[in-house]
């Protein structure tokens, strides 16, 4: 019965389509031409509909974008949805009205449809608005009454804005008419641009462009206000990440619609124009992204020195033999999910076990989001006691690691990065990476200040600060893993100096930060975390330069990318640490058990997926790319498991490995967590607290209590 209904519906649609084709016979050349000229407004319209769908039924990353839990967030998004839909319908209508002048093609059905032209703009507008508003209503955490009120208020503000735009257009046109003593600047510009801009019959610019100029001016004021009001260094208020998506949508719709209206007359493809412009900008201006190095002469402490100092401080943790227990933490990558989970596991184990656990940590090797969580956790360490200052500071570590920074990255995309493209000759040091760092700095400052209120320095931690503390034993060794783009090799942003490679150590620790950039180079720890967490395209790959244009030894021109490309689990640094330390006789005798704790940000989905029907040609099309993407993770996991097993075989009874990961969930791979995501992480840790992994760790530190 279902198949019969499907066939009947399909036959009906084919009949209607056939009738439409017959009625439009002889017009297809013009129809196809206008579809081409309208490609930007059409693409913008489809994008709005797609965003509405993905916000409800898409992956966690897109679903989170539409979540609102405060009234002003829903109000702002509703308002911007109205503006974005208006812009798509207005630009499409403008191209349809002026296309015959600009492109020399017949305007389809203009005389017949002229009296309906307002409806022709209004109907597409509501077709675009309603799905998005329904999606916002479905995804909001506000009550239905409050949500409906905010959506209606946002729509009312949008309608009032359109009335203001129309009023300004009328006032400007009237003013030009009253004060015109000859051709004004607008008319001269329109005449220079030619047909479609200038009406030779009236000697004036076409009226539609006046409306376009006023609309762009109105939106430009909102855009410029956002540059200062939303600056991530000190924002007056925050808007949801989806507001920046809508802002970028409106900017691209405006710029590309204007560009195609101009170049389509000369039959220049948009992609060709963009390619030529990009080549011009690339070859004539500075397009690279940078991270800043500072001058500070302080060599990294040797592993033996750091371990000895840390063991002297950690005398409260020992195994059954009386020797010190050593914990090596490997924190995996995975965006804000990894940052929040790393912070929650480390603080949770400290709350469960006590001071013995943080004091036993000799090394934290972190990658990508795990590096950000590590940054917040270690910033809370007391510089005298070697563990977080006080228990009540631990929830603040979790809150800082869970705080969204996607808004800052989005601000960087639509402001400094976009301005660098549109105005390439303006030398700007700001970019989306700078914006992301500002968001992390705002979260880091309270932790850093509370950890040691008496410390004289007001600056946030530098690599040299943490190297000094590592050498004193009050901070564990830290390796934030990054990747060199040009060679594909690892770059270890390390506070300890690994031994030089020899025949038995074939992994790479010749490429630590100071061996690459020299002992006189220093780096902000926030920048180090950013380099390790250079999430593809959200954060740009960057190369080094001295801060403030300072001078120093010649720096390599390598670009640094996310550490997850090379070692997303952070295991290799731990393996090298064990090799180096256990080959030192004096240290080996002082170390009891070595716990290698793997903090994995995502549930274990290494099992083979259940058999399903194939996707035919779609699998053939995307299969190779999908395989390349998936094999990066699977091979790294397999390599890490093999390395750890070989290490355990080399030192029987010496090494224990524990992996802690959420049992379930579909977290986003971005820099934004919803309140529901945060609650799921909290519940996942509570569930793990009763599991075998945490129980094994407790038994190592408190064997008497677990018997």
Which residue did the predictor score with more confidence, 169 or 645? 645
CB 187 within 8 A of CB 204: yes
Flag whether pLDDT at 385 surpasses 90: no
How confident is the model over 72-113, as pLDDT tens digits? 999 999 999 999 999 999 999 899 888 888 888 766 555 555
Range 364-380 average pLDDT: 95
Range 643-662 average pLDDT: 91
Helices and strands counted in the chain (H then E)? 30, 12
- pLDDT reported for residue 553: 76
**Structure tokens, 169:** 């257009």
CA 443, CA 379: separation in Å to the nearest integer? 11
Residue 145 confidence class, pLDDT cut points 50, 70, 90: very high
Question: Could you tell me the maximum CA-CA distance found in the chain, to the nearest angstrom?
Answer: 99
Range 383-388 average pLDDT: 75
- pLDDT reported for residue 383: 79
CA 400, CA 382: separation in Å to the nearest integer? 18
- Least confident span in 50-64, 114-128, 401-415, 530-544: 114-128
Q: Which of 501, 539, 498, 231 is nearest to 371 (CA)?
A: 539
Which residue did the predictor score with more confidence, 272 or 549? 272
Residue 504 confidence class, pLDDT cut points 50, 70, 90: very low
- pLDDT reported for residue 503: 46
Range 643-649 average pLDDT: 91
Greatest mean pLDDT among 102-111, 171-180, 306-315 lies in 306-315
Flag whether pLDDT at 606 surpasses 60: no
Report in angstroms the alpha-carbon separations of 336 from 8, 373, 538, 673, 691: 49, 8, 13, 7, 24
Which residue did the predictor score with more confidence, 287 or 400? 400
Residues with Cβ within 8 Å of 9's Cβ and at least 6 positions away in sequence, in order, are: none
Q: Which of 633, 424, 412 is nearest to 542 (CA)?
A: 412
CA 548, CA 534: separation in Å to the nearest integer? 23
C-alpha angle with apex 206: 200 to 211, nearest 5 degrees? 165
Residue 23 confidence class, pLDDT cut points 50, 70, 90: low
Q: Which of 105, 171, 162 is nearest to 129 (CA)?
A: 162
CB 482 within 8 A of CB 490: yes
Range 560-573 average pLDDT: 92
Which residue did the predictor score with more confidence, 77 or 627? 77
User: Residues, the chain, total?
Assistant: 707
**Structure tokens, 408:** 């800052």
CB 154 within 8 A of CB 77: yes
Range 616-627 average pLDDT: 71
Range 46-72 average pLDDT: 89
Q: Long-range CB contacts (< 8 A, 24+ apart) of 156-159?
A: 157/75, 157/79, 157/82, 158/78, 158/79, 158/81, 158/82, 158/83, 158/86, 159/82
Neighbour count for residue 86 (Cβ, 10 Å): 23
CB 498 within 8 A of CB 581: no
CA 126, CA 85: separation in Å to the nearest integer? 8
Burial (Cβ within 10 Å: 0-12, 13-18, ≥19) of residue 621: exposed
Radius of gyration of the CA atoms of the chain, in A: 30
- pLDDT reported for residue 707: 46
Give me the residue label for tokens 């090494």.
655
CB 368 within 8 A of CB 334: yes
Neighbour count for residue 446 (Cβ, 10 Å): 15
Helices (H), 523-616: 525-532, 564-567, 571-582, 585-588
Flag whether pLDDT at 328 surpasses 50: yes
- pLDDT reported for residue 506: 46
- pLDDT reported for residue 610: 56
Percent pLDDT > 90 in the chain is: 41
- pLDDT reported for residue 574: 93
Flag whether pLDDT at 479 surpasses 90: yes
CA 223, CA 230: separation in Å to the nearest integer? 10
- pLDDT reported for residue 178: 62
CA 684, CA 692: separation in Å to the nearest integer? 14
Range 358-372 average pLDDT: 94
Q: Which residues share a beta bridge with 561?
A: 483
CB 43 within 8 A of CB 92: no
Across all residues in the chain, what is the average pLDDT?
A: 84
pTM: 0.88
- What is the pairing mode between strands 490-494 and 477-484? antiparallel
- pLDDT reported for residue 63: 86
Which residue did the predictor score with more confidence, 72 or 21? 72
């Amino acid at each position: 019965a279902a198949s019969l209904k499907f066939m009947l519906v399909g036959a009906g649609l084919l009949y209607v389509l056939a009738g439409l084709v017959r009625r439009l016979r002889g017009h297809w050349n013009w129809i196809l031409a206008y579809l081409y000229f309208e490609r930007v407004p059409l693409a913008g319209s489809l994008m709005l509909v797609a965003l509405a769908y993905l916000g409800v039924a898409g992956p966690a990353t897109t679903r989170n974008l539409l979540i609102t839990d405060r009234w002003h967030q829903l109000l702002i998004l509703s308002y911007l949805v109205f503006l974005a839909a208006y812009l798509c319908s207005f630009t499409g209508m403008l191209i349809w009205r002026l296309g015959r002048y600009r492109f020399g093609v017949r305007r389809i059905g203009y005389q017949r449809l002229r009296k309906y032209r307002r409806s022709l703009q209004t109907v597409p507008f509501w077709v675009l608005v309603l799905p998005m508003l329904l999606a916002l209503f479905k995804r909001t955490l506000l009550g239905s009454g409050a949500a409906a009120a905010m959506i209606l208020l946002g729509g009312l503000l949008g309608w009032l804005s359109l009335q203001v735009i129309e009023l300004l257009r009328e006032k400007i046109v009237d003013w030009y008419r009253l004060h015109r003593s000859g051709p004004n600047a607008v008319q001269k510009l329109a005449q220079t641009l030619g047909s479609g801009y200038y009406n030779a019959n009236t000697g004036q610019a076409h009226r539609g462009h006046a409306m376009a100029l006023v609309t762009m001016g109105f939106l430009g004021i909102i855009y410029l206000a956002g540059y200062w009001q939303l600056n991530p260094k000190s924002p007056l208020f925050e808007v949801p990440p989806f507001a920046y998506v809508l802002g970028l949508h409106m900017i691209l719709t405006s710029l590309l619609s204007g560009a195609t209206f101009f170049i389509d007359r000369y039959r220049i493809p948009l992609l060709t124009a963009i390619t030529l412009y990009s080549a011009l900008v690339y070859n004539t201006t500075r397009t690279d992204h940078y991270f800043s190095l500072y001058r500070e002469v302080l060599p990294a402490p040797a592993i033996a020195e750091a371990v000895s100092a840390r063991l002297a401080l950690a005398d409260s943790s020992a195994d059954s033999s009386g020797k010190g227990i050593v914990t090596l933490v490997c924190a995996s990558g995975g965006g804000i999910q990894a940052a929040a989970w790393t912070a929650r596991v480390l603080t949770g184990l400290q709350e469960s076990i006590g001071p013995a656990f943080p004091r036993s940590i000799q090394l934290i090797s972190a990658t990508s989001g795990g590096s950000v969580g590590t940054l917040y956790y270690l910033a809370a360490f007391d510089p005298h006691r070697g563990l977080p200052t006080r228990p009540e500071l631990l929830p603040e570590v979790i809150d800082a690691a869970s705080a969204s920074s996607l808004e800052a990255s989005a601000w960087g995309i639509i402001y400094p990065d976009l301005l660098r493209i549109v105005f390439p000759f303006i030398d700007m040091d700001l970019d989306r990476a700078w914006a992301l760092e500002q968001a992390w700095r705002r979260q880091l400052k309270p932790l850093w200040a509370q950890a040691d209120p008496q410390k004289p320095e007001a600056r946030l931690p530098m690599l040299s600060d943490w190297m000094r503390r590592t050498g004193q034993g009050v901070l564990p060794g830290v390796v934030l893993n990054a990747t060199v783009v040009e060679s594909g090799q690892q770059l270890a942003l390390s506070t300890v100096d690994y031994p030089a490679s020899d025949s038995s150590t074939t992994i790479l620790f010749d490429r630590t930060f100071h061996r690459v950039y020299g002992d006189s180079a220093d780096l902000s720890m926030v920048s180090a975390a950013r380099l390790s967490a250079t999430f593809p395209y959200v954060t740009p790959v960057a190369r080094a330069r001295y801060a403030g244009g300072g001078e120093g030894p010649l720096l390599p021109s390598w670009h640094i990318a996310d550490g997850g490309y090379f070692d997303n689990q952070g295991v290799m640094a731990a393996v090298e640490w064990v090799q180096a330390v256990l080959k030192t006789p004096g240290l080996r005798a002082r170390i009891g058990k070595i716990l290698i704790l793997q903090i994995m940000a995502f549930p274990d989905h290494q099992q083979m997926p259940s058999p399903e029907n194939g996707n035919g040609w779609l699998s053939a099309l995307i299969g190779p790319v999908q395989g390349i993407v998936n094999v990066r993770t699977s091979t790294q996991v397999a390599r890490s498991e093999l390395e750890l097993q070989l290490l355990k075989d080399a030192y029987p009874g010496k090494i224990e490995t524990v992996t802690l990961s959420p049992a379930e969930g579909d977290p986003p791979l971005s820099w934004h967590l919803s309140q529901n995501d945060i609650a799921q992480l909290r519940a996942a840790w509570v569930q793990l607290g009763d599991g075998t992994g945490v129980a094994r760790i407790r038994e190592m530190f408190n064997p008497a209590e677990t018997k």
